[in-house]
Structure 1
């Protein structure tokens, strides 16, 4: 028979082992940075260095996670490497995925989040579409890998592709103080939370600024992490506090330089260390019960697409009211610039104006198609009228006459779409 003292010692050791944290989880840290871009490469390199040499190792060490670093910069910041990285990513049910992109971006009007350009930022529009991936789509793909916590951050412009931000350097050099991190604060953020969040450095229609010292949001991240996760901080660490701090510091930098920049966040986080993994928050239209009533057509409307139409109407209206033979050259150049950027949007307007109705029950589909048929007809007419004006872009006098003929009906169709589909 085993002596009582040995039995007591055995159970004491077992209890100690059960009390230890389960240090088996992995931090999958995915970095994509456009460090060889001639305009922002220097600033991006500073952010890249921080992410790879400071932030990723700090999270892994302090939270007790094994680090799986996937590092893509310069010539390796390419869309094929992103697609391959995501497709091959194998995450455990208690792992953490942290994606961070720094580079150029633009808004495709599919949603409020930027499309990130993986290299070739100055290429033509067709290649640009191929070289881009939408940040919200990336987040949803990463959530589908079924990790416990998924984070996707994009530091990129969120305006039309034709708008290039200036580099600015109107702020003092940031002197980062040495910080003694508190492991418990990291563990609370990266072990107690489930779900995830996606964050872009600017709202739709805004630039994301950088200067020779780094991207404004990345510098704000550095400061916020050093402040919020340091020894001596009182109160529990929370993602709400940290993200709010990042947003406020970024906005403060923007105000100091006279350039609006407001980071935006879609938050699916749950602070619950013992509950089940949070399911991805659905985006898009409501799902009707298999045999229930069908949602109305405008339940499937892409509000960002409608916002894009609203933004274009003043330009079209002003052009129609003022174009004549005297200013035809200027308006022809303006229209060419506008339509080169928005042609993919209007060519596909019939599709992008609605969310994909893949989850639409079959008994709802005939009614949806019947009720939305007029939209398809209107968008086809809009495309035809745009093309009718565009073909004279290099013949300004003929363009002026064609614009006076086509724009009234084109504008009317766009207004009709807004009136009928706006919720």
Structure 2
């Protein structure tokens, strides 16, 4: 059975003299996507997390750094330690750490005993390489960011998985920031001050995660979706209470989340409206070179003619000539339009006036070592 523990830690120490247009989101993601039992579930968790965070970032017009994505064999302790140790933050930045994979509890742990150890891609005989969430919490808290979120989606045993029917799963169209209630997101991410901690189930309970993703993760993003659409309450306590009720619903009352909200109140001096990003955000699947290439194509500091002139060189370097691009909706499954040749897609992207972000959901390579198909979700 997939033992699923979601831990959200928000550590807010506001620096009121920092301009909001300097806000940057540092995302660190570790997902055990190669695991024979839970790999598909972990991949679904990773894809949903990346897509939903990208939509929030585009709506808030803050800056995101999305190169610290570790999946499969890269989901290991050395990479985790390096990613955290090399992280450099400014006082108004946001850190978002996410893990999906196996996890365990140390029964003899007298401190923070409800928090898991992340197994990463290791087996039980390598338990000396497991990483406690408390390590991540303490290290990230020392980085001096204004807001720190830690979500861990941990698995540990086998059982039948339940079916999750979330709100986001029904969204087959391309996500649009025009439909988002940005002011409600600002209340959560810019104006709240304090600490929020949540875990997906009471200690001793199992937590469920089908191939479409962990039940608590789906419930959390469903509630964030409601906030974006003007429903629910833009308050962390209300968000987590609604998430708890959704999780109970999705698991036939077999999984009850536990949380604690310690919000001192609203920031008395909320930041002014941030300025638009200089270019649309590109969220890649751990492929740094691919992400950088897409950034060049949409960089608004270059003219359209300059961006168009980049296309052929990028295609020759990174893609098979007949590589295909498949566009999907917010649910990451519904296909939008017909597949496009990579050259045609990049040319249209270079000329686009409406694309605010591109989430490269999956990128596959042929035996030539070059990419032969991409699955993308565009944020407009």
How would you bin the TM-score normalised by the shorter chain?
0.5 to 0.7
Q: Distance in 1 between matches of 2:165 and 2:213?
A: 12
Q: 1:32 to 1:72 in 2, by over 3 A?
A: same
Shift of 1:107: 0.5
Which structure is higher in strand share? 2
Written as runs of structure 1 = structure 2, the 5 A alignment for 1:330-369 is none
Q: Which residue of 2 aligns with 1:76?
A: 74
Q: Distance in 2 between matches of 1:263 and 1:136?
A: 19
- C-alpha change, 1:165 and 1:267, in structure 2 (3 Å) is farther
User: Secondary structure of 2:22's match?
Assistant: coil
Q: CA deviation at 1:147?
A: 1.0
Residues 98, 152 of structure 1: 8 Å contact kept: yes
Q: Is the 8 A contact 2:181 2:227 kept in 1?
A: no
1:182-193 aligned at under 5 Å gives the runs 182-193=181-192
CA offset digits 1:267-298 (Å, max 9, x no partner): 4444332379xxxxxxxxxxxxxxxxxxxxxx
Aligned to 1:138: 136
Distance change >3 Å, CA 139–CA 167, structure 1 → 2: farther
Aligned counterpart for 1:113 among listed residues 104, 109, 115: 115
Instruction: Tell which structure's C-alpha radius of gyration is larger.
Output: 1
Instruction: Name the CA distance, whole Å, in 2 between partners of 1:93 and 1:49.
Output: 29
Superposition pairs of residues 228-307 of structure 1, within 5 angstroms: 228-230=227-229, 232-233=230-231, 237-255=234-252, 260-274=254-268
Q: CA RMSD in A?
A: 2.5
Pairwise CA distance, 1:67? 0.3
Q: Which residue does the alignment assign to 1:309?
A: none
Tell me by how many angstroms 1:134 deviates.
1.8
SS of equivalent residue, structure 2 residue 170: coil
Q: CA deviation at 1:153?
A: 1.3
Q: CA, structure 1 residues 244+102, in 2 after alignment: closer, same or farther (shift >3 Å)?
A: same
Listed one character per residue, the Cα deviations across residues 41-85 of structure 1 (whole Å, up to 9, x for unaligned) are 111111111111x12212212222210122111111111111111
Kindly indicate which of the two structures has a greater share of residues assigned to helix. 1
Which runs of structure 2 are paired with 1:106-255 in the superposition (5 Å)?
Answer: 106-109=104-107, 110=109, 111-120=113-122, 122-124=123-125, 127-128=126-127, 130-157=128-155, 164-170=157-163, 175-177=169-171, 180-230=179-229, 232-233=230-231, 237-255=234-252
Deviation string for 1:205-235 (max 9, x for gaps)? 22221112221111112211111221x437x
Q: Whole-Å Cα distance in 2 between the matches of residues 267 and 132 of structure 1?
A: 28
Task: Find 1:98's aligned residue among 96, 101, 106.
Answer: 96
Distance in 1 separating the partners of 2:195 and 2:213: 26
The structure-2 alpha-carbon separation of the partners of 1:271 and 1:26, relative to structure 1 and needing over 3 Å to count, comes to farther
**Partner deviation per Cα, 1:69-105 (whole Å, 9 max, x = no partner):** 2211111111111111111111111111111111111
- The Cα shift of 1:27 comes to 1.0
Among residues 59, 63, 66, which one is paired with 1:66 in the alignment?
Answer: 63
Are residues 137 and 205 of structure 1, via their aligned partners in 2, closer, same or farther at CA, if it must alter by over 3 Å? farther
2 CA distance for matches of 1:266 and 1:32? 25
Q: Conserved in 1, the CA contact under 8 Å of 2:164 and 2:215? A: no
Deviations 1:162-201 (A, max 9, x none): x613141445586423562211111221111234434332
The Cα shift of 1:202 comes to 2.5
Structure 1 residues without counterparts, runs of 5 or longer: 1-20, 158-162, 277-423
For the residues of structure 1 that align with 2:160 and 2:211, how far apart are their CA atoms?
Answer: 8
In structure 1, what is the Cα distance between the partners aligned to 2:247 and 2:159?
Answer: 17
SS at match of 1:153: strand
How far apart in 2 are the matches of 1:149 and 1:266? 16
Structure 2 distance, partners of 1:85, 1:106, is: 22
TM-score scaled by length of structure 1 = 0.53
* Contact 1:149-1:193 within 8 A present in 2 as well: no
Q: Answer with 36-45 or 189-198: which moved more.
A: 189-198
- For residues 83 and 261 of structure 2, the distance between their equivalents in structure 1, rounded to whole angstroms, comes to 24
Superposition TM-score, scaled by structure 2 size:
0.58
SS of residue paired to 2:73: helix
Give the structure 2 partner of residue 285 of structure 1. Answer: none
- CA contact 2:192–2:263 (8 Å) conserved in 1: yes
Q: Is the 8 A contact 1:106 1:115 kept in 2?
A: yes
Distance across 1 between alignment mates of 2:265 and 2:32: 34
Preserved contact between residue 155 and residue 208 of structure 1 (Cα < 8 Å): no
- 8 Å CA contact 1:156–1:200 kept in 2: the answer is no
Per chain length, whose mean CA-contact separation is higher, i.e. which structure has more relative contact order (CA < 8 Å, sep 6+)?
Answer: 2
Q: Per the alignment, do residues 270 and 85 of structure 1 end up closer, same or farther by CA in structure 2, a change over 3 Å counting?
A: farther
